[in-house]
Amino acid sequence: MKRLVRILFRFLGGLFAVILALVAYEVLIFANRTEASAQEVAEQDFRRECVRNGLDPNEFKGPRRIRAPEGTYGFVWKNPSNGDQIATMVKYLPAGAESWLSRGAANEKFTPYCDEGDRACE
C-alpha cells in the first residue's frame, strides 16, 4: 500500500511540474510580447495561410496593423490585383495565432490600428 501511495505522489508531483512549466512558459511569452515579435509570428502564420489556400505570398502587400481586441495584435495583407485579404490575429495568454482569408473584399474589411498620438486617426 505504501508503495502505491509513493507512486501516486510521484505521478502527481510530475504532473504538477509539467503544468507549472507550461504556465511559466505562457507567462514568459506574455511578459516578453512586443509588436515586432507579434509581427514575426503573424508573418509565419500568413505564409502558412497562403500555402493552405494555394496563394503566392509575394502578391500581397503588407503587413498593416489593424484594430484588434485587448491583448491581441492584428495584421492584414492585401492583394491589390483582386482585393483578397489575409488577416492574422496574434494573441497572448494563451499564446497563438489565427489567420483567415477574405476573398475579393471590395472595401477595406478591417479597421486600421491607430496609436493614441496619431493625428491621422482623429
Which residues, at least 6 apart from 8, have a Cβ–Cβ distance to it below 8 Å?
none
Considering the domain architecture, whether residues 39 and 22 belong to the same structural domain is answered as no
Q: Which residues pair with 72 in a beta bridge?
A: 91
pLDDT of residue 77: 93
pLDDT of residue 24: 83
Considering the domain architecture, whether residues 27 and 38 belong to the same structural domain is answered as no
Considering the domain architecture, whether residues 56 and 1 belong to the same structural domain is answered as no
Question: What is the pTM assigned to this prediction?
Answer: 0.72
pLDDT tens, 53-102? 999 999 999 899 998 888 889 999 999 888 889 999 998 878 788 888 88
Three-class SS of residue 100? strand
Considering the domain architecture, whether residues 60 and 114 belong to the same structural domain is answered as yes
More confident site: 65 or 115: 65
Structurally, the chain folds into a number of domains equal to 2
Compute φ and ψ for 55, nearest 5 degrees: -110, 155
Confidence of residue 29 (pLDDT cuts 50, 70, 90): confident
- Domain, as residue range, for 61: 34-121
Considering the domain architecture, whether residues 77 and 25 belong to the same structural domain is answered as no
pLDDT of residue 122: 47
Distance CA 105, CA 80 (A): 10
